[in-house]
Amino acid sequence: MSALRLFLPFVLTGITAISSSFAQTPVYQAVAAAPFQSRSGLGHFFSKCEQGGPVKVAYLGGSITAAAGWRVKSLNWLKTQFPKAELSEIHAAIGGTGSDLGVFRVAHDALDHNPDLLFVEFSVNDGGSTPERIWKGMEGIVRQTWSRLPKCDICFIYTFRNGFEKSFADGVLPQSQSAMEMLADFHGIPSINFAEHSAGLMRDGKMIISAPETGEAPPDVLVFSKDGVHPLEAGHSMYQTVLEKAFTAFRTHKELPDHASRLSGEFIQGHWQDAKLVPVEKHHLFGEWHPLPQKMTIYKTATGRMPAVWESLTPGAELKFRFNGTTAKLYDIMGPDGGLVDIAVDGKVRGPFALFDSYCSYHRIATISLGEDLPPGEHSVVVTLRPDQPDRSPVTNKEKDKPGFNAEIYNGTALRIGGILLRGELLPENP
């Protein structure tokens, strides 16, 4: 028995490997590596492109998609392939986020704009998640999309990071990508694996993950990134080359799949199709609050991503709401001046929770879990801004010797809320 088989009971190699028995209680299996899988194809998208007129492409993902890289290159290339179509993008990528946030925001950020094609790219940011959590989030994204837009084609995108090459050396996908491929097989969703090609170049000595600290890379060797995750221009160009090959193959599939019919079976029970982003209303706020000033740089971070952003700088300010469901999260902006909050769910207080972490030399969108997997039913939530501040030394000690360091920005008790993430329904105003 090979070493590989000691750890992998069997390797899935294609759509026929997924049994209908997995629909209720899927069991994770590593999936054999491949550059792309056509499955049911992208017939609706291609048909609309060939007819001409407006066509929208949505990009749901993390920082690799948010960068002006493969996202921009792919849309420009599609415009050359379909000159009669009026192709436009729906930019729905947020750095540092995975499918566990994507499933809550896919409607607001992508589906509300009626895309004809939805790219989903979360395999790197989902790298630390369990297969079950990935399945629940990703199936929620699929089911929300096809229940609302049954002619919108979906394509999963798998990107590369340092360490993924170890799985590819064994001929299989990393865990996050294997989990997504099992779901893609079940629903017939095409996928493109940028990482498989990247790992192959590393194996053949044609790519290094980052440039040496001293000296330059050897001639004709591609330097993928600076940090082992985010591609440089050459890395994004390589991604685009893989995408072009995959789309050329996908175009040979002329079928117009009935996506809605694929929702008759569930890949996993307890998926997050009911996940949603709901706005914070003024009656949920107590104490001193005001809309986030549009003149602030922070406002640009939230533009188009959050229904509205409420800001409080005053300790004692509260957010209160009730909901009927199982999960609630705070959709917020953390940053250098972020404060501390206490959270009470059904009267039980937890905290403090910091709106600040080791990456907070700038402001960014984030989430705080208020309650997950709660018993189904009605729940009350209170979030209270505390007077004390988090320990900022892990950031200020790193930043203080850099040019332009401003110690004043690392002071404050700010709480900025851009929405509530729910699995369930928001209940009327507190009695």
Q: What is the DSSP string of 172-195?
A: B--HHHHHHHHHHHHHT--EEEHH
Taken in order of first residue, the domains within the chain and their CATH numbers are 3-264 (3.40.50.1110), 275-426 (2.60.120.260)
DSSP H helices, 42-153, are 43-51, 63-66, 70-81, 99-109, 131-148
Q: pLDDT at position 294, please?
A: 79
Q: Which amino acid is at 112?
A: D
Residue with tokens 């629903």: 187
Question: What tokens does 280 get?
Answer: 């914070």
Q: pLDDT at position 230, please?
A: 96
* DSSP secondary structure, 264-276, as one string: GS-SSTT--TTEE
Q: pLDDT at position 3, please?
A: 32
Does residue 236 contact residue 116 with C-beta atoms inside 8 Å? no
Distance, CA of 335 to CA of 184 (rounded, Å): 36
Burial 37-71 (b: 16+ CB within 10 A, else e): bbbbbbbbbbebbeeeeebbbbbbbbbbbbbebbb
Distance, CA of 12 to CA of 19 (rounded, Å): 11
Q: pLDDT at position 213, please?
A: 67
Question: What tokens does 419 get?
Answer: 């929405």
Burial 347-358 (b: 16+ CB within 10 A, else e): eeeeeebbbbee
The DSSP output letter for 375 is P
Task: Give the DSSP H or E segment for 225.
Answer: strand 222-225
DSSP H helices, 40-69, are 43-51, 63-66
Q: Which of 384, 356, 367, 429 is nearest to 288 (CA)?
A: 384
What is Dmax (Cα atoms) for the chain? 70
Side-chain-facing half-sphere of 360: CA atoms under 13 Å? 26
Segment-wise mean pLDDT, segments of 10 residues, the chain, 431 residues? 32 43 74 96 97 97 97 98 97 95 97 98 96 97 98 98 95 97 97 96 92 74 93 96 97 92 93 96 96 81 85 97 96 96 97 94 93 95 97 93 92 96 89 49
